[in-house]
Homo-oligomer: A and B are copies of this chain.
Amino acid sequence: MPRPPASRTSPARSEPRSASENTTQAARRQEILEVAAQLFATRGYKATSIRQIAEELGMMAGSLYYHIRSKETLFVEIHNRALDAAASRIFSALAPHTSPWARLEAACRELLDIQLSPSSLTLPLMNTIRSVPPEVRNALIKKRDEFEAIFRNIVEDLPLPPTIDRDVYRIILLRVLNTANDWYHPGRLSREEIARQIFDIFRHTQSETDATSPPGKSSDDAPGASRSRGRPASPRKSRAAVMN
């Protein structure tokens, strides 16, 4: 039942596009990008079909190709725009702060707010890398690395305990924030409270240097698995061993 095609006389596009005629063009494109981003973010890339996107837009599948070139380029464009918008918002949120921890908290709050925004284009597309065709992934990963550089700089300035590896710290924090809409469901805690919780978990003082568990009773260690701590003066910018 392809549903009577919305009867071309829909009043949605009644404004006169006289001046430069790019108002309607860009507006429709924006609609498409937002709808597609919504579906990509929730169902994933592979599970989202062109026909689903078109149906949500009130048009047929083939008509979409008047606006887009392919499904892949659609996703890439959404991905890039989302990351640019997110970077812009985070930069703005970062501006009024100078202390490293305050900057981290502001970044957490803003990124979490971005990832939990129900509509809008800035949506969690960073977790979809798995289901995207391998050829497209390189471009996406490059863009994402640029975005993550923001957090890299923030974490760089953090007075963390020397035992904590900054690469692991940043990657884990970003993973938590970026997958927020997978585990957060509004109800008991607000978005600001969740952001504060995440920040509280990741905030550490540099005085934590003990080796074993804090509550004393250090006679509780596994016999095997002799873990070797103390990395050799961590190069602090390798990123070869761990990726996101």
User: Measuring CB to CB, which residues of chain A are less than 8 angstroms from any residue of chain B?
Assistant: 42-44, 46-47, 96-102, 105-106, 109, 127, 129-131, 159, 161, 163-165, 168-169, 171-172, 175-176, 179, 182-189, 192-194, 196-198, 200-205, 208, 213-215, 217, 220-223, 225, 227-229, 231, 238, 240-244
Contact: A179 with B175, CB < 8 Å?
Answer: yes
Q: Which of B186, B192, B202, B205 contacts A214 (CB 8 A)?
A: B205
Min CB distance, A104 to chain B, in Å? 9
- Is B43 within 8 A of A98, CB to CB? no
Identity of the chain B residue whose Cβ is nearest the Cβ of A103 in the assembled complex? B220
> In angstroms, how far is the closest chain B Cβ from the Cβ of A163?
6
User: In whole angstroms, what is the CA distance A43 to B201 when docked?
Assistant: 31
Give Cα distance in the complex from A244 to B185, angstroms: 9
Offer 12 A-B interface pairs, CB within 8 angstroms, sorted by A.
A42-B130, A46-B46, A46-B47, A101-B215, A102-B220, A168-B197, A183-B243, A185-B240, A185-B242, A185-B243, A186-B241, A188-B240
Q: Is the CB of B101 within 8 A of A214?
A: yes
> Assuming the A-B contacts A44-B44, A99-B213, A238-B188, are A201 and B164 also in contact, with contact meaning beta carbons closer than 8 angstroms in the complex?
yes
Query: Chain copies in the assembly?
Result: 2
Q: How far is the CB of A22 from chain B (nearest CB, A)?
A: 35
Given A169-B201, A179-B175: A130 and B242 within 8 A (CB)? no
What is the chain B residue whose CB lies nearest that of A41? B130
CB neighbours of A43 from chain B (8 A): 130-131
Name the residue on B nearest A189 (C-beta): B241
- A189 contacts B168, CB within 8 Å? yes
Given A46-B46, A175-B175, A238-B188: A102 and B200 interface contact (C-beta under 8 Å):
no
User: CA separation between A238 and B187, bound complex, in Å?
Assistant: 10
Task: Name the B residues within 8 Å of A185 (CB-CB).
Answer: 240-243
Q: Which residues of B contact A223 (CB under 8 A)?
A: 96
B200 touching A164 by the CB < 8 A rule? Answer: yes
Q: Can you name the residue of chain B whose Cβ is closest to the Cβ of A192?
A: B227
Inter-chain contact A201/B183, CB cutoff 8 Å:
no
| A53, chain B: closest CB distance, angstroms | 16
